[in-house]
Amino acid sequence: MLDNWTFIGLFLLMAAIFPGVPIILQSLILGPKKSNPVKNSVYECGIETVGDTWVQFKVQYYIFALVFVVFDVETVFLFPFAVAFNAVSLFAVFEVTLFILILVAGLVYVWRKGALEWV
Amino acid sequence: MDFLKDPVAFIAKVLSDLLAAFLPAPVVSVLLLIVGVVVVASFSLVLPLFLIWFERRVVGYMQDRLGPNRVGPEGLLQTIADAIKLMIKEDITPYGADKVVYNISPVLAVIAVISMWAVVPFAHNIIGTDLNVGALYIVSVGSLGTLAIMLGGWASNNKYALLGAFRTVAQLVSYEVPMILSLLVPVLLARSMGLNDIVKAQDVWFIFLAPVAAFIFFTTSVAEVGRTPFDLLEAESEIVAGFHIEYSGMKFGMFFVAEFLHAFTVGALTAVLFLGGWRGPGAETYPLLGVVYFMIKAFGGYFFVILMRAALPRIRIDHMLDLNWKFLTPLALGAIVVIALADKAMEPWLQTLQPGIAPWARGGVLLLANLLLVLVTYLLLSNSARRMRRAAERGASGGDGAGHHDEHHEEAPAAPAHGEAHTAPAH
């Protein structure tokens, strides 16, 4: 078990090194370095950028992220149930169905509130 | 130890015998682990060089042109030429960008995709590491990719990139919900989260036991990659290139590599979870044959992703969200309930059957249950489509909870499409 996670740890390290090396190689050694203010300016469709980029944005995106968090956390609770499926009785499956129905109730609530509409 | 029976153990034994002459035993075992890591990781990083060529050729033929065919035999070295070109480009960081986040983002995108390959089984004894929570691991490292795109778009100090990052929140984050829910179904059928155990449990391929879940998993995974028809986050014709608009040189190249490898990973994961992975005649005795079977299935899935990209137009953002929240999510919940109940309810019946017939009987019943779910879904969908069409014909008046009647086409799924009709909200 510990071996597995050592492997994963080394793998993540390697996965960071592999893309990291070419990027550093290009930006520090191989690529030319002749920057000027015009070249470094932000891309825009033909005109100068107006105003700040990091502005207030639509609350809609935030609502979707919130709904996601609720669903994601509750879904993770279902995974242990799936692994222990051999051990649970039919009654327990009904209980899990109830749990999923509570999830559905949350979805229906969000739906009826109009939070899923793109406005 | 035979090479054909267990290639990994054979090579490990040869290497450790070789190294044991110079080094103490613990150092040798660590070195072997590192060799394994390097082999799997470099396989998954070299693979995109081939994938990019493959996709460009296939899309080329779909559009009645040849695609890259000059550099090397059949253009196979085109990707390497492109990589060299990217390597000698100037590295540009736009004015006002958040430097740390801007530079971390492409690396994070690649990490997210490569690390999935640590648990993918190539054959029953050729696997990076057989993690007992493999399915959860896939979900958790996979969602790092979403983060990378969001960070890259935000840090670029560009309005198009910011729009791309916003769309990421709406799309990638939303589609993760039905993806995880449909991933639960193979876990439920195999009673294990280890990917190798899931493959071993597929006496009958899970695509026949749970076609609905397979469909949802494949669709949402394609959306997670951000491929056409779900490429709203980079949409060349709307927001130029979305989140990677300001990236140049190798940093752009890394986003590119991550996208292509992720598309192939979708094919590979679909193969592992629903198409029987490395299983096939003779794969138990000769693992290398299992690798061949796995690769054929994975490339089949990848080919389907490419065909979707070449054939379908981009989906509109409100349709995209409706498809996810009002169709795929309720359907995934319904699939879980139907499969859990059917599988548990027929357990006593299966025990009375002969062991040879039992898996097929189970498969048949589950397939029937799934077809029933599809039928109910279809009836609900056509019903709500008819209602929306009538409302559109009457003219857009008296907007109720659904809203936007005039904008919906009839195929826009807006019905609660899970197995239990009594939980459906009334509009």
One-letter amino acid for residue B289 of the chain? L
**List of chain A residues with pLDDT < 50:** none
Give the residue on B whose Cα is nearest the Cα of A26. B87
One-character DSSP codes across A59-115: HHHHHHHHHHHHHHHHHHHHHHHHHTTTTS-HHHHHHHHHHHHHHHHHHHHHHHTTT
Residue to test with chain B: of A5, A33, A39, A43, most B Cβ within 10 A: A43
Chain A residues with CB inside 8 Å of B88's CB?
26, 30-32
Query: Which residues of chain B register pLDDT less than 50?
Result: 399-427
CATH class of A2-112: mainly alpha
Instruction: Select from B42, B107, B404 the Cβ nearest to the Cβ of A23.
Output: B107
Orientation angle between helical segments B99-114 and A2-24, nearest 10 degrees: 130
Q: What ipTM was predicted for this assembly?
A: 0.86
Asked if B209 contacts B366 with a C-beta cutoff of 8 angstroms, the reply is yes
Residue A113, both tokens:
């509130």
- Residue A48 is predicted with a pLDDT of 74
**Cβ–Cβ gap A15/B245 under 8 Å:** no
Give B40's contacts in chain A (Cβ within 8 Å). 11
CB B265 within 8 A of CB B99: no
- What is the amino acid identity at position B241? A
- Nearest-Cα distance to chain A for B81, in Å, is 15
DSSP class per residue in B181-248:
HHHHHHHHHHT---HHHHHHT-SS-HHHH-HHHHHHHHHHHHHHHT-TTS-TTT-HHHHTTGGGTT--
Place of tokens 């009785």: A89
Q: What is the pLDDT of residue B409?
A: 43
Q: Which of B171, B96, B74 is nearest to A61 (CA)?
A: B171
Closest to B50 measured CA to CA, from B85, B82, B79: B79
Residue A99 distance to chain B (closest CA, Å): 10
Classify the C-alpha dihedral B273-B274-B275-B281 as positive or negative. positive
Q: Is the entire prediction scored with pTM above 0.90? A: no
CB contact under 8 A, B344 and A93: yes
pLDDT number for residue B1: 55
Query: pLDDT digit string (tens) for B77-113?
Result: 888 888 888 888 888 888 878 888 888 899 988 888 8
**Residues of A numbered 98-117 whose beta carbons fall under 8 angstroms of chain B's beta carbons: which are they?**
100-101, 103-105, 107-108, 111-112, 114, 116-117
Tokens of B4: 């054909």
The token pair at B371 is: 């077809």
* Cβ atoms B219, B315 nearer than 8 A: no
Distance CA B196, CA B131 (A): 9
Q: What angle do CA B244, B246, B247 make, to 5 degrees?
A: 65
CB-based contact A10 B129, cutoff 8 Å: no
The residue ranges of every structural domain in chain B are 87-315, 317-427
Q: What pLDDT is recorded for position B217?
A: 92
**CB distance B184–A61 less than 8 Å?**
no
Phi and psi at residue B65, to the nearest 5°: -140, 180
Euclidean distance between CA atoms B364 and B353, whole angstroms: 14
Nearest to B91 among A26, A54, A114 (CB): A26
Task: Show residues of chain A in contact with B257, CB under 8 Å.
Answer: 19
What tokens does B43 get?
């396989």
Residues forming beta bridges with residue B121, ordered by sequence position: B127
Q: Does A14 touch chain B (CB under 8 A)?
A: yes
